[in-house]
Amino acid sequence: MKKEFELLYKKYFSQVFSYVMTLSRNQDLAEEITQKTFVKALTSYDKFENKSSEYTWLCAIAKNMFIDDVRMQKKAENLPAIEVDLASENDEQIYQIHKVLHSLNEPYKEVFHLRVFGDLSFEKIGKLFCKTENWACVTYHRARLKIKDKLEEK
């Protein structure tokens, strides 16, 4: 299996990357999605039924990864920002923010801490919780909304 997958990777990496580049027009994003595509293919290779070519199968995975990424970006852009400067000199504001943050339920509190104070990527946060990158992103944004709502109540 490992040898087969290495051959698959070598044979199709540049083609899949080129395909994703035409979708994204962003080299960094194309590289990331191409890598994720092959990780997904590796974990689901046993489900490949040979109903299409391997290249078509890989491109379908890549396209779905790209669509998921676009959806996640749109969701993030549409969420209202929490305008908070944690380094400000307003001790009362900082205290109120930490008070609200302390009152959050898990996993919102920990995910928010890891993202803001730990500066971790959504991918790493997802791995810490044995969840997906998308789960980490959604959980973080829900935490932001909860914080924003509680701050507005006060």
What domains appear along the chain, each with residue ranges and CATH number? 2-78 (1.10.1740.10), 91-153 (1.10.10.10)
Q: What is the mean pLDDT of the chain?
A: 83
**Hey, how many other C-beta atoms are within 10 angstroms of the C-beta on 80?**
9
pLDDT interval class at 97 (50, 70, 90): confident
pTM for the predicted model, two decimal places = 0.52
Which of 37, 3, 42 minimizes the C-alpha distance to 17?
37
Residue 38: per-residue pLDDT:
92
Distances in whole angstroms, Cα of residue 119 to Cα of each of 44, 81, 82, 95? 31, 17, 17, 21
Q: Concatenate the DSSP letters of all residues of 28-73 into one string.
A: HHHHHHHHHHHHHHHHTGGG--SSS-HHHHHHHHHHHHHHHHHHHH
